[in-house]
Amino acid sequence: MWLVPRSGVGGPVGGIHATPVTVTANGREVPWTEAASLTRFLEQQGLRPRSVVVELNGEAVAPSEFDGRTVRPGDRLEIVQIVAGG
């Protein structure tokens, strides 16, 4: 996991406190250093927000809530892409 120094809270790493700078998406660590909307996160991953189903930290998120939900370093996401076919 990528880590950056942070004072205050967090576990010591090499004698300093650190905070994660990744999120876990579908079991893989993805670099993520900011707090931003779920819509922005999905777009930066090359996904169209209306073509996925998302669980954020164990909670299903409706597509209508993507703009109002924040993805922060340390969060866990499960993302399933909807595929239509015939």
Torsion (CA) 42, 45, 50, 54 in degrees, nearest 10:
-60
Residue 4 has pLDDT above 60, yes or no: no
Specify the length of the chain in residues: 86
Domains of the chain as residue ranges with CATH? 22-81 (3.10.20.30)
Mean per-residue pLDDT for 61-84?
Answer: 95
Amino acid at 63: P
Angstrom distance (rounded) from CA 78 to CA 86: 26
Q: Is the pTM of this model over 0.95?
A: no
Edge-to-edge strand ranges of the sheet holding 12-13: 3-5, 16-20, 12-13
State the chain's mean pLDDT as an integer.
84
The DSSP code for 72 is -
- For 50-69, the pLDDT digits (tens) are 999 999 999 999 999 999 99
